[in-house]
Structure 1
Amino acid sequence: MSEGRAGSGAESDEPVADAVFRPVRAGNAFEETVERLLAAIKLGVVARGERFPAERDLAVRLGVSRITLREAIRALQESGYVESRRGRFGGTFVTYIPPRPSRDEVRRQLRAMGGELEDLFTFRQVLEVGAAVRLAAAGLTPGQEQTLLARLAEADDATIDDYRRRDTAFHLTIAELTGSASLTAALAETRMKLNELLDAMPMLAKNLEHSRVQHIAIVDAIRDRDPEAARTAVTEHVDGTTALLRAFLG
């Protein structure tokens, strides 16, 4: 992936970027800004080697001063998530490499979560099923359909190493297309937690192909304006991920 691409993740996944680069809430603007930038990194909105949007534009989207944004970027740089480069092709580039904990470490983490893990599964299912059902009931505009098909194609063409990022973009796009900022923000936070668990597990080609088939079923149901088919397709897809994590505990 070229390091000269300016914000390529944020630009190509614009609906997903909107879910992350939204105005911070009232409170501690610095902490909120750090959280937004971290979410963009961990969800792959801006992938490793890619550049964040220009500081001026990013400050406007987040609704913070450039001073606050610079302080947040400096904090992430000190923690090893990004680096700042000067010059014509400069900017803030992501350097973060997700950790790869051992199988035993992940098992301990899953067991420690206890009821919180079940809550995560349930909340994710409600959010993702609800988003797809709502979108199927409302129908897609031509532009929305084009966006959803683009995210489907990107997930379908993704390599194993890049699949998690593209899968996340696909699901967040469904939420974003409902027009509910609250729904999309909640799903983005949930997916970030889920991805931290899934990233520790090997991505098998068979599972990836099964997931691709399910993605197509979800999109077909939404395009056909069939809420019940959308409910069934998303439930099957989400249940598969839940079963995979539960099996990992065994």
Structure 2
Amino acid sequence: MTTIGRTTPLLSAVLAPLADHGRADAVARRIAEAIALGLVADGDQLPSENDLSDRLGVANGTVREALALLREAGLVETRRGRNGGSFVRTPAEGSERLRLARLRDLAAADLRDLGDEELAVFGTAARLAAERAQADLGPRLTRLVHDLRDATGTAEQCRADARFHIELAVAAQSVRLARLAVRLQAELGPLLWLPAPYGPDRERFAEQHREILVAVLAGDAAGARAAAESHTVACVRHLVRQHLELADGGRPLADPAVGRADGEPT
């Protein structure tokens, strides 16, 4: 069990001050996004109510109400006593089938709308990162490219992919872009990184991340944006393809006779 105290660029993006002050549901959504993206792990202890209140710029009562909402959703467990506090509970059994059902039930037009937003956010973040990136960006993003390539489970894959997207938005030095990136990854990531045969080609996506990184580090703003947009198109096409297949009856979740899905339809 880890207590979340050290602030990272990614966690700072999630726990940045709220624009819509005083809304418990907005606070709960922020913390739920951090859990969905794997920025906080199962069993981790959340910051205290006072700390969360200071980071998010809301009243203690708002944080308390938000934690109650998260408890109702099964994402947080509160323990009393000397070593008490609020602890993360990540979704357990059945979550994969719930995500498959959600992807099946979403309209293709909704997926394309999400893709359009991701295209604008990720493409712009890549362009600005190429123009504004600081010296330590290369090692951080290179590590995330390797993390995605080496990831063995869907949770690890989702986490590495999301962190790459969000780190790039953080490198763009735009608080608003970083917040949009967090929200989009929390919405798209769990739908994208499903078990075989529904998940994308991990190696291919990692290579696309590497191509974006190469352009960013070279200061090639146009190339970085083009590579980021190409990657986004591949993601959306994959999601639409899997949505249509699931809506048409789909395949069993663990059918050994069916190979892994491609990263992009033909």
Specify the TM-score bucket, using the shorter chain as the normaliser. 0.7 to 0.9
Q: What's 1:151 paired with?
A: 144
CA contact (8 A) 2:100 2:191 kept: no
Distance between the aligned counterparts of 1:181 and 1:172, measured in 2? 11
Deviation at 1:148, TM superposition (A): 3.0
Deviation at 1:146, TM superposition (A): 3.9
Q: What's 2:2 paired with?
A: 5
Deviation at 1:144, TM superposition (A): 3.4
CA contact (8 A) 2:193 2:199 kept: no
In structure 2, relative to structure 1, the CA distance for the partners of 1:226 and 1:24 (3 Å cut) is same
Distance between the aligned counterparts of 2:159 and 2:122, measured in 1? 17
In structure 2, relative to structure 1, the CA distance for the partners of 1:52 and 1:107 (3 Å cut) is closer
| Aligned-CA RMSD value | 2.6
| 2:82 is the alignment partner of 1:85 | no
In structure 2, relative to structure 1, the CA distance for the partners of 1:246 and 1:147 (3 Å cut) is same
Q: Deviations over 1:159-212 (max 9, x none)?
A: 323110121011101001111111111222222221242244537798111111
Name which of 136, 158, 161 aligns with 1:164. 158
Q: What's 1:36 paired with?
A: 30
| 2:181 is the alignment partner of 1:184 | no
Deviation at 1:93, TM superposition (A): 1.6
Name which of 201, 205, 212 aligns with 1:218. 212
In the alignment, residue 45 of structure 2 is paired with which amino acid? R
In structure 2, relative to structure 1, the CA distance for the partners of 1:60 and 1:177 (3 Å cut) is same
Using structure 2 for the length normalisation, give the TM-score. 0.79
Deviation at 1:106, TM superposition (A): 4.3
In structure 2, relative to structure 1, the CA distance for the partners of 1:88 and 1:245 (3 Å cut) is same
Distance between the aligned counterparts of 1:199 and 1:153, measured in 2? 17
Q: 3-state SS of the aligned residue for 2:86?
A: strand
Deviation at 1:86, TM superposition (A): 4.2
In structure 2, relative to structure 1, the CA distance for the partners of 1:55 and 1:207 (3 Å cut) is same
Q: What's 1:243 paired with?
A: 237
Using structure 1 for the length normalisation, give the TM-score. 0.84
Q: 3-state SS of the aligned residue for 2:43?
A: coil
CA contact (8 A) 1:160 1:203 kept: no
Distance between the aligned counterparts of 2:83 and 2:207, measured in 1? 40
Distance between the aligned counterparts of 1:119 and 1:194, measured in 2? 11
In the alignment, residue 6 of structure 1 is paired with which amino acid? T
| 2:117 is the alignment partner of 1:120 | no
Distance between the aligned counterparts of 2:111 and 2:126, measured in 1? 23
Q: What's 1:109 paired with?
A: 105
CA contact (8 A) 1:56 1:66 kept: yes
Greater helix proportion: 1
CA contact (8 A) 2:130 2:216 kept: yes
Name which of 2, 15, 19 aligns with 1:21. 15
Name which of 96, 101, 109 aligns with 1:100. 96
In the TM superposition, 1:39-78 aligns within 5 A as 39-78=33-72
Identity of aligned residues (%): 30
Deviating more after overlay: 148-157 vs 171-180: 148-157
Q: 3-state SS of the aligned residue for 1:100?
A: helix
